[in-house]
Amino acid sequence: MSQSIFSGDFVDLSLGQLGASKIKTVNGQQHVVHFDLGEGKDLVYVFSVTNENRCYLQRAKPYPMTQVRFASTEETLHYIAKDYSAFQNARKSRKYQDFVDIAHKTIALTQQMEDLFITHNISTEDMALLHQETDRLTKLMEEIHSRSPEV
């Protein structure tokens, strides 16, 4: 079973119209899409289109985003267009690289936590400490969100 050629062509054409600088399609179902944010910075997505026209999307750069499932290629294209626009705006900020660095640290922390959990027997006390710290970070994010103006 394979995706229709029309659907794959529609996706690639639409992504090109959105401003994609490079599109690579593998077997008509998996797409790797690059957007140039300037100054050597890219926004890259990887998504797969199923035979039922459903999509599984991941952002690969500037930092990985977990997989999101969409009911159609149209929903996926809408999400990418909105996300790309937000990144174009964010890229203008002098704090952009700081944000990307913090995102990378957060991802590394999640990987360290997973490694810790699957390779060690964590004590109840240490588990409580991890809960406290993640709750504290969540609260900090909420505080920063409430006092920061929207763009």
| Six-digit token string for 127 | 């588990």
The whole-angstrom separation of Cα 107 and Cα 83 is 19
Tell me the pTM: 0.82
Which pLDDT score is estimated for 26?
84
Q: How far apart are the first and last CA of the chain?
A: 44
Distance of alpha carbon 122 from alpha carbon 132, whole angstroms: 15
| Whether 32 contacts 42, CB under 8 Å | no
- CA 147 distance to own-chain centroid: 25
Place of tokens 């199923």: 50
> Which segments of the chain are extended strands (E)?
22-26, 30-38, 41-49, 55-61, 68-70
Q: What is the DSSP letter of 92?
A: T
Residue 91 main-chain phi, psi, to 5 deg = -65, -25
pLDDT in tens, 46-94: 988 887 778 899 999 999 988 888 888 888 889 999 999 999 999 999 9
Determine which of 2-6, 17-21, 63-67, 84-88 has the lowest per-residue pLDDT on average. Answer: 2-6
Give me the percent of the chain exceeding a pLDDT of 70.
95
* Residue 93 CB partners (closer than 8 Å, separation 6+): 99
